[in-house]
Structure 1
Amino acid sequence: MEVCPYLEETFKVIGRSWNGLILNYLSRCDERAAHFSDMKRDLKRITPRALSLKLTELSDWGLVEKKVVTTTPLSVEYHLTHKGYELAEALVPLEEWAQRNVELEENHS
């Protein structure tokens, strides 16, 4: 029996460090969008370089869109695309399973 090739490709996306968490984070934000600085602040253990690389990667997969807001000073927002939101929603049952079955370390923040 073969593994579903679509599921295999999906795990290539969400199985990489931070990708699933970034999708989850953006899905919880107002209008499914956030500024880079907000994500860096709230995803405490990711470095700015890694966050930048991950957002580019998610953008290349069509899951996140970068939008430059022409305010003074210029502002950059990252939005989930429809495809990204659908994937984030598909991860909700996995999150629920984890809440029931995964034990967190004492010092987890």
Structure 2
Amino acid sequence: MEICPYLEETFKIVGRSWNGLIINYLSRCTDYTAHFSDMKRDLKTITPRALSIKLTDLGEWGLVEKKIVSTSPVSIIYELTEKGRALAEALKPMEDWARTYIELENEVKAK
């Protein structure tokens, strides 16, 4: 039996460290946008260098767009594209599955 090549390519994207979490994060933001500093603050353990690389990679896949906002001072935001939003929507059933079947460390300690 052959593996679906489309699913294989999808997992090459979301299976890499941080990619799925960044997509999920942006999908929860107002207007699907966030500043680099906000993402760095909220995705606590990612390094600035790793976040920069991941945003560039996601941009190359057409999932995230870097936008320069003409304010004073100039502001840079990252926005999920239509393609990125569709992927975020496709990941929601996976999140539902995880909430049902995955036990987090802090939940184990609380029991």
Q: Give the TM-score normalised by structure 1.
A: 0.96
Per-residue displacement from partner, 1:48-86 (whole Å, max 9, x unpaired)? 000000000000000000001111111100000000000
1:1-109 to structure 2, matched below 5 A, reads: 1-106=1-106
Tell which structure's C-alpha radius of gyration is larger. 2
Gaps of 5+ in 2: none
Identity %: 70
CA–CA distance in 2 between the matches of 1:73 and 1:48?
21
Task: Give unmatched runs, 5+ long, in structure 1.
Answer: none
What is the root-mean-square deviation in Å for CA atoms of aligned residues?
Answer: 1.0
TM-score (norm 2): 0.94
**Which structure's residues are more often helix, by fraction?**
2
The one-letter amino acid of 1:70's match is: S
